[in-house]
């Protein structure tokens, strides 16, 4: 994936991230709190699961619900994350603000739902102005893949986190998680498509994991660790 002009794209592999944390144990733990441009409780739980072991508190921007809405009309996860981070960071002067865009890509559906994951159940997801219900999104996905053999239901969660300050993007961080899409939900944790996303490495869906467990394997956990690795090098 190419970075947008003037934006640093961080693509550390997982082992390198681990080395960064070992080499900079003080720097990355000096950060005690991170502001996130979301009111989505599922995203906040995911990030908290990745941050809690490091003693970092995750919180939404104060008064976030009253801020003007940033419309997610980008064609890529990166474009949407950058637009949100830049827009909302202007409401927290001098502070680093994170925003993410994420979704599910199913190979048999040509990469759908993709950037329209949260609005997938809408009649025209690309035109929808608000998110549709998780249950409706899952139902539409199951209807579309129900006749596809399990071996051909490969997919991935993708998350791009953008870090911005005072309306300027500092860097972006991409995380992915590869799995198989089920037709019967499993688990009661998580949100979105988690009950249908089976992660072969642990033989569980993401909805069967605690936030801390999910952070070890998830797309959002990987992207957040890359952010911390970048931060420790600044």
Question: Distance (Å, rounded) from C-alpha 61 to C-alpha 84?
Answer: 12
As its CATH architecture, domain 8-232 has: Alpha-Beta Complex (3.90)
pLDDT digits (tens, 9 = 90+) for 42-63: 889 888 888 888 888 899 999 9
Task: Identify which of 116, 141, 135 has the alpha carbon closest to the alpha carbon of residue 127.
Answer: 116
Question: Distance (Å, rounded) from C-alpha 82 to C-alpha 75?
Answer: 12
For position 25, what pLDDT does the model report? 37
With beta carbons less than 8 A apart as the criterion, state whether 206 and 159 touch. Answer: no
Task: Identify which of 233, 210, 191 has the alpha carbon closest to the alpha carbon of residue 16.
Answer: 233
For position 56, what pLDDT does the model report? 87
Neighbours of 195 (CB within 10 A): 22
Structure tokens belonging to residue 105: 């890509």
Query: Region 111-117: what's the mean pLDDT?
Result: 97
- Choose the catalytic residue: 46, 73, 100, 101: 101
Task: Identify which of 150, 146, 155, 147 has the alpha carbon closest to the alpha carbon of residue 194.
Answer: 155
**pLDDT beyond 70 at 73:** yes
With beta carbons less than 8 A apart as the criterion, state whether 47 and 39 touch. Answer: no
Query: Region 14-36: what's the mean pLDDT?
Result: 50
101 noted as active-site residue: yes
For position 8, what pLDDT does the model report? 53
**pLDDT beyond 80 at 7:** no
Query: Region 20-48: what's the mean pLDDT?
Result: 69
Structure tokens belonging to residue 121: 């159940």
């Amino acid at each position: 994936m190419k970075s947008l002009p003037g934006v640093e794209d961080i693509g550390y592999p997982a082992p390198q991230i681990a080395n960064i944390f070992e080499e900079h144990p003080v720097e990355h733990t000096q950060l005690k709190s991170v502001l996130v441009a979301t009111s989505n409780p599922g995203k906040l739980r995911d990030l908290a699961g990745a941050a809690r072991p490091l003693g970092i508190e995750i919180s939404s921007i104060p008064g976030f619900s009253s801020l003007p809405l940033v419309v997610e009309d980008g064609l890529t996860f990166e474009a949407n994350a950058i637009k949100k981070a830049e827009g909302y960071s202007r409401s927290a002067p001098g502070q680093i603000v994170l925003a993410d865009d994420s979704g599910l890509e199913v190979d048999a559906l040509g990469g759908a739902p993709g950037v329209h994951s949260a609005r997938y159940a809408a009649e025209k997801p690309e035109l929808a102005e608000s998110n549709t219900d998780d249950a409706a999104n899952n139902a539409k996905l199951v209807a579309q893949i129900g006749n596809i053999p399990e071996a051909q239901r490969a997919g991935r969660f993708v998350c791009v986190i953008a870090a911005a300050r005072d309306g300027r993007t500092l860097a972006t961080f991409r995380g992915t998680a590869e799995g198989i899409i089920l037709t019967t939900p499993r688990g009661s944790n998580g949100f979105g498509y988690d009950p249908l996303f089976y992660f072969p490495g642990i033989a569980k869906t993401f909805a069967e994991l605690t936030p801390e467990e999910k952070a070890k394997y998830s797309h959002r956990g990987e992207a957040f660790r890359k952010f911390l690795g970048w931060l420790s090098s600044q």
